[in-house]
Amino acid sequence: MSPNHRDPARLRRRLLAWFDRHRRPMPWREDPAPYRVWISEIMLQQTQVATVIPYFERFTARFPDLASLAAAGEEEILAAWSGLGYYRRARNLHRAARQVAAAGGRLPREAADWERLPGVGRYTAGAVASIAFGRPAPALDGNGVRVLCRLHALAGDPARQPLKGRLWDLLGELAAGARPGDVNQAIMELGARVCRPGAADCAACPLAAACRARAAGDPLVWPERTPGAAPRTLRLQVALCREGEAVLLSRGERPFLGGLWNLPYRVLDGAGELSREGWAGLGLRLRGARRLGTLTHGHTRYRLEQEVVAARAELLDREGAPEYKWAGPRERARLGLPAFATKALARFGDQ
């Protein structure tokens, strides 16, 4: 196979022709204003497209531009983000909006300037700069890693150097020509729809003729991976306390969504930096507690097993305790409780 078979310009043409025919409609693609592209890329971090779309549409309807986002309070931002998870993204997005607004309100054009904003790493910077402004910046995500590792049959762990840097260089060569934003999106789309983790549809791939993994006969061998650590299991006790239709909520400097209003909880079995907690130390005494059941919930690094108890609540005066408040159905809807709490309310709210 001749070396120019994998020439970046030729690969780019094939990718773009395929993308023009097969690109999925997405709201930020139909209206790729820089602000909308930025919001979409933050939401797409560690979250699938199908999940993001309805959140994106609601969020941008509520905060249609940088000025409205920067002017909003954090609680309002978190409520609008509720259910999407990884809430640090929302806080960083808010901080970045205020930082840009304070500097004049003009979003950066270059990837290097995007990387100076809170919550923006190399991938997001390259994605926004290339898609919104046409800058020749690569944006390498997991789908792109898989496509490039198979295309070039690259050995090694793509999460580690030197392969990690080599992959960024390869995508940079592709994004250095025409339509860099579409090139980045085409690689992602190809990995999401054709060159998938457990199945490679080589017959539908525009790069099949140049793919070394296909020529080797088993594309699924690539990319190589070092097994990651399994999530740790933590046991929590969650208190469901009622006064009429109102439910007791708490927030504070806590692990697991501490900046959001949530059902009160304490750590039963700690791991690492998390130690066993008592309710009194959290400024709460439970009266007549009875066990309702157990729920599981996935978190970034942990698998949470939540023992839910119903009880009457007595608030104690304890320095450093979380903030508490009683909230009825309308206020809970306005606050946008996280999945951590909504699961318990949906399952046990009437018991």
DSSP state of 23: P
Rounded-to-10 torsion of CA 220, 223, 224, 228: -110
Residue 286 phi, psi dihedral angles, 5° rounding: -100, 130
Burial 36-71 (b: 16+ CB within 10 A, else e): bbbbbbbbbbeeeeeebbebbeebbeebeebeebbe
Q: Which of 337, 99, 265, 111 is nearest to 91 (CA)?
A: 99
* Helices and strands of the chain, counted as H and E runs: 15, 6
Per-state percent for the chain, helix, strand, coil, to nearest 5: 45, 15, 35
Report whether 220 contacts 200 (CB < 8 A).
yes
Residue written as tokens 């008592």? Answer: 278
Q: How far apart are CA 123 and CA 109, in angstroms?
A: 15
Q: How far apart are CA 27 and CA 285, in angstroms?
A: 48
**Is 319 assigned a catalytic role?**
no
Tell me the sheet residues that pair with 233: 303
Catalytic residue among 30, 41, 243, 314: 41
**Residue at 351: amino acid letter:** Q
DSSP state of 297: E
* C-alpha distances in Å from residue 274, one per residue of 238, 305, 308: 16, 14, 19
Report whether 277 contacts 234 (CB < 8 A).
no
Residue 287 phi, psi dihedral angles, 5° rounding: -110, 135
Q: How far apart are CA 130 and CA 157, in angstroms?
A: 27
Active site residues: 41
